[in-house]
């Protein structure tokens, strides 16, 4: 009900609806003027007067008595705003008087009815809509009807909808359809107002219901609603130990995993399109892993723990899993299967995003980073040869601190990366830095088996997709192993990573090839840098700046001091080749 029309002051059973029926169904004519009475009270009085005026022989006295009693209640219940003497006079004028009925008898009947009604006051509340007939009012109607299932997230560029399994971005204007439903629901208020006897309100509501269906009013409704039903990106996907499946949400707890029903309150925007079935197995997957790792259980167990760890949003290891190997060795099939397993939790990242490149406008949009929010498995594949990693970017994406990004044409927002970064490559992008901060992140998993053409199964990926529920169980076992044992790096990964580090250190190669340690000797910094510069160029590497070079030499134990003619020297080192240019030496090495 829009508003309770009457407030009874006691339990007396006066048939109120009988008195209202006339007002609901008949037009009010010959209305009396009540300048100090609210419109709806005046309309009720006029309705009673009309019933008296239209009464027929045989029920005139009864009609007059009921009207007098009812209006007596109205006069007593509305704080004296209705003049009783005026009501008596109007009732007298409205009453058709029979020839054998005297005027004083009519007045007596009216007085008795009003006096009796006065002992049973009835307050009439002025009719008002549930919400204002404004854009704001429509926004309140929209929120009242749909607040459980919609959220507005400005940095995401629109509305998110609850679809009974997860929150998803509204890409097909479903929220607009809900706004249409809200506009049409105003007709329900029209019916309620009419049923309650609020004819004028019903008329106003009907006009507003029609107006509210225009495009301008629909847009305004949604615009006003945003402020009251908005959410931040950080409100979503912030529980790093939940994993959403098609038949429930997996709660990764200490040494166990529990499936629970989907819940709005979990605020998840992702879902993996697989069913959790604790009895499912994956024989084809196990055979595949055994083949690509040549039965190496160390690598297979490590991969299982790493993938189980990837199912969660826990990022305590700050790891970057680098799957490296030339030729046809199963990396692509592995990545495609993990991506299918994690569904919307997986995101492919353009490799260029991870590489060093020219500086761009710091205010530029970063959609390739923004779309990674809430992901668990972020993968990039096959960089070109001769590229160099953007080490700062790698640290940001694996470091566990909030990063800033924005979608194209949208506002900036901050999010904490909950994903693991996986790379598959036939080439190794250079890592210039030799600090622990970057190398402790790199976990190079060697792929050393080559799958010959006659051994290839071109339907393998489809077979693996049919085993995703079983692969999920295998991954959960990896999670439980990780919980119990941690992410223990096998010797194969340690050795492969160390070899990568050595290959990336052009300065170490230069020192090994063109210098010797010699406590009795010193070399001009300018000469040493010239030698290094030529060596790097000769090996098609970009040399570091001189200041950076001096710092890097200092980190390796080669200190500087100021010597003759105020020149700067490295102490304790000799250049092997002093009679030919470093450029020539480097060129010979490169050839």
DSSP secondary structure, 400-424, as one string: -S-EEEE-TTS-EEEE----EEEEE
pLDDT tens digits along 382-438: 877 778 888 889 999 998 888 888 887 777 888 889 999 999 999 888 887 777 789
Residue pair 219/135 in contact (Cβ under 8 Å)? The answer is: no
**Burial letters 30-45, b for 16+ CB under 10 A, else e:** eeeebeebeebbbbbb
Rounded CA gap, 46 and 91, in Å? 10
Q: Using 50, 70 and 90 to split pLDDT, how confident is the model at 79? A: low
Residue pair 365/406 in contact (Cβ under 8 Å)? The answer is: yes
Give 124's strand partners: 6
Rounded CA gap, 302 and 150, in Å? 42
- Region of 179 (left: φ > 0; alpha: ψ -120 to 50; beta: rest) is alpha
User: What would the two tokens of residue 313 be?
Assistant: 């949003």
Residue pair 360/393 in contact (Cβ under 8 Å)? The answer is: no
Closest CA relative to residue 250, chosen from 343, 139, 322: 343
Q: Mean pLDDT score of the chain, rounded to an integer?
A: 85
Helices (H) and strands (E) in the chain, counts: 22, 18
| Strand (E) or helix (H) holding 294 | none
Closest CA relative to residue 70, chosen from 93, 53, 46: 46
pLDDT tens digits along 146-199: 999 999 999 888 999 999 999 999 999 999 999 999 999 999 999 988 877 678
pLDDT tens digits along 542-588: 788 999 899 889 988 899 999 888 999 999 999 986 444 444 444 44
pLDDT at 97: 67
Contacts (Cβ under 8 Å, ≥6 apart) of 370: 405, 406, 407, 410, 413
Which residues in the chain are classed under CATH 1.10.10.10? 505-590
Which residues in the chain are classed under CATH 3.40.50.300? 294-468+487-502
For the question of whether the overall pTM of this predicted structure is more than 0.75, the answer is no
**Burial letters 404-424, b for 16+ CB under 10 A, else e:** ebbbeebeebebbbbbbbbbb
Rounded CA gap, 517 and 572, in Å? 6
User: What would the two tokens of residue 36 be?
Assistant: 């100090």
Higher pLDDT, 214 or 79: 214
pLDDT at 407: 80
User: Among the CATH numbers 3.40.50.300, 3.90.850.10, 3.40.50.740, 3.30.70.360, which is that of 294-468+487-502?
Assistant: 3.40.50.300
Task: Find tokens 């640290």 and name the residue.
Answer: 395
Extended beta strands in 184-266, E state = 242-245, 248-253, 256-260
Rounded CA gap, 565 and 578, in Å? 21
The answer regarding whether domain 505-590 maps to CATH 1.10.10.10 reads yes
Rounded CA gap, 155 and 419, in Å? 20
Helix (H, G, I), strand (E, B) or coil at 514: helix
pLDDT at 74: 83
Rounded CA gap, 71 and 95, in Å? 14
Rounded CA gap, 443 and 429, in Å? 14
| Sheet of 150-153, strand order | 150-153, 158-162, 167-169
């Amino acid at each position: 009900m829009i508003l309770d029309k009457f407030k009874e002051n006691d339990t007396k059973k006066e048939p109120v609806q009988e008195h209202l029926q006339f007002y609901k169904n008949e037009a009010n004519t010959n209305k009396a003027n009540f300048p100090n009475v609210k419109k709806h009270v005046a309309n009720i009085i006029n309705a009673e007067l009309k019933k008296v005026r239209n009464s027929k022989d045989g029920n005139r006295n009864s009609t007059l008595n009921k009207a007098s009693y009812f209006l007596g209640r109205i006069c007593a219940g509305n704080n004296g705003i209705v003049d009783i003497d005026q009501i008596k006079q109007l009732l007298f004028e409205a009453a058709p008087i029979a020839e054998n009925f005297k005027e004083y008898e009519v007045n007596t009947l009216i007085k008795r009815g009003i006096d009796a009604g006065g002992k049973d006051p009835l307050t009439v509340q002025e009719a008002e809509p549930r919400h204002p007939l404004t854009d704001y009012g429509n926004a309140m109607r929209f929120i009242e009807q749909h607040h459980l299932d919609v959220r507005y997230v400005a940095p995401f560029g629109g509305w998110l909808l609850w679809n009974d399994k997860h929150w998803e971005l509204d890409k097909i204007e479903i929220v607009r359809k809900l706004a249409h439903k809200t506009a049409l629901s105003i007709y329900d208020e029209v019916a309620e107002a009419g049923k309650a006897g609020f004819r004028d309100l019903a008329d106003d509501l009907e006009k507003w219901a029609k107006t509210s269906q225009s495009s301008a009013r629909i847009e305004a409704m949604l615009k006003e609603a945003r402020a009251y039903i908005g959410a931040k990106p950080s409100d979503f996907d912030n529980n790093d130990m939940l994993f959403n499946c098609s038949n429930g949400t997996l709660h990764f707890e200490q040494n166990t995993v529990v499936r629970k029903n989907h819940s709005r309150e979990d605020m998840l925007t992702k879902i993996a399109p697989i069913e959790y079935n604790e009895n499912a197995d994956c024989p084809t997957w196990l055979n595949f892993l055994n083949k690509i790792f040549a039965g190496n259980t160390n690598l297979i167990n490590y991969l299982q723990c790493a993938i189980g760890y990837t199912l969660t949003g826990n990022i305590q290891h700050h790891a970057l899993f680098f799957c490296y190997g030339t030729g046809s060795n199963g990396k692509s099939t592995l990545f495609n299967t993990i991506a299918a397993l994690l569904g919307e939790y997986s995101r492919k990242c353009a490799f260029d995003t991870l590489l060093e490149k020219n500086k761009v406008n710091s205010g530029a949009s970063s959609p390739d980073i923004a779309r990674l929010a809430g992901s668990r498995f972020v993968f990039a594949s096959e960089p070109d040869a001769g590229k160099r990693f953007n080490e700062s970017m790698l640290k940001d994406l694996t470091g566990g601190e909030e990063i800033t990004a924005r979608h194209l044409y949208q506002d900036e927002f901050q999010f904490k990366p909950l994903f693991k970064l996986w790379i598959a490559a036939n080439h190794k992008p250079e890592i210039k830095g030799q600090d622990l901060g970057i190398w402790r992140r790199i976990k190079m998993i060697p792929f050393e088996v080559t799958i010959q053409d006659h051994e290839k199964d071109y339907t393998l990926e489809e077979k693996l997709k049919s085993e995703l529920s079983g692969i999920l169980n295998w991954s959960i076992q990896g999670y439980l192993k990780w919980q119990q044992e941690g992410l223990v790096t096998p010797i194969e990964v340690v050795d492969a990573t160390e070899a990568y580090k050595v290959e990336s250190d052009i300065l170490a190669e230069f020192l090994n090839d063109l210098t010797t340690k010699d406590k009795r000797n010193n070399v001009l910094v300018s000469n040493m840098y010239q030698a290094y510069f030529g060596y790097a160029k000769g090996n098609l590497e970009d040399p570091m700046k001189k200041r950076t070079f001096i710092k890097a030499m200092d980190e390796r134990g080669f200190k500087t001091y100021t010597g003759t003619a105020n020149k700067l020297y490295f102490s304790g080192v000799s250049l092997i080749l002093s009679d030919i240019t470093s450029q020539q030496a480097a060129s010979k090495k490169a050839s």
